[in-house]
Chain A
């Protein structure tokens, strides 16, 4: 069965620090998708990134970057020069199998607090 582990439950940093949020997944499928979502204090879930299992290229989007390593089944998320607005709960998720009947499994989430 698919599983997503976010071992860090809470992280607190000071503004401008870099922070990495870890995500480890388990799946028996060779084809799957990985996601990161952000849940700010307002409660809404915001999509950040989707990655398919065949694309191991790292991705950078502004201050955000993602490191996907199939060898270690990890999909880590780094925020560079963190800001107070980055304070939120961050969820890593895995969808499998591919196709119309796929299901999204979320990790427990990591609460990130960025202090001024």
Chain B
């Protein structure tokens, strides 16, 4: 158990809908990262937050947004969902401010299925 929690574990929704994925980092970790894992694109970095501020951005679509709250939990919002958004979404956390250079601890993931 990495100490990173993600809810929900599974999510099934329809095209055009909006969903929110939630992540709680390990105790003491200030950085939160979001990744998308799909069969065709593999594992892709989406976005990083450090202590409430956006730090780095990857291949995140404009329909997706994220935020990190004062208690350090983070939410990833996915809107106008398309079939191609079906994937496993991981959250990871790390203690420092060194971005992706830090060792990251991954949560169990949220499997999103868009029908």
> Which residues of chain A have a CB within 8 Å of any CB of chain B?
33, 37, 42-47, 50, 52, 91, 95, 98-109
Q: Let me know if B2 is at the binding interface, CB within 8 A.
A: yes
* Interface flags, B94-111, vs A, CB<8A=1, else 0: 000111110111111100
Q: List 5 A-B contacts (CB under 8 A).
A: A37-B106, A44-B2, A47-B106, A95-B101, A107-B42
User: What B residues does A50 contact at CB under 8 A?
Assistant: 101, 103
Query: Which size bracket describes the interface of B in this complex?
Result: 20 to 34
Whether A43 contacts B108 by the Cβ 8 Å rule is yes
Shortest CB-to-CB span from A87 to chain B, Å, is 18
User: What A residues does B43 contact at CB under 8 A?
Assistant: 91, 106, 109
Whether A100 contacts B45 by the Cβ 8 Å rule is no
User: What A residues does B50 contact at CB under 8 A?
Assistant: 100
User: What A residues does B105 contact at CB under 8 A?
Assistant: 47
User: What B residues does A91 contact at CB under 8 A?
Assistant: 43
8 Å CB contact of A95 from B42, B100, B107: B100
> Which residues of chain B have a CB within 8 Å of any CB of chain A?
2, 33, 42-45, 48, 50, 55-56, 58, 88, 90, 92, 97-101, 103-109
Whether B108 contacts A102 by the Cβ 8 Å rule is no
Complex: chain B residue closest to A101, CB-CB: B56
User: What A residues does B106 contact at CB under 8 A?
Assistant: 37, 44-47
8 Å CB contact of B99 from A52, A102, A105, A107: A102
User: What B residues does A33 contact at CB under 8 A?
Assistant: 100-101
6 extra A-B contacts, CB within 8 A, seeds A47-B104, A95-B100, A100-B98? A33-B101, A44-B109, A46-B106, A91-B43, A103-B58, A104-B33
Whether A99 contacts B2 by the Cβ 8 Å rule is no
8 Å CB contact of B100 from A45, A52, A104, A107: A104
A50 to B99, CA, bound (A): 13
Whether A100 contacts B55 by the Cβ 8 Å rule is yes
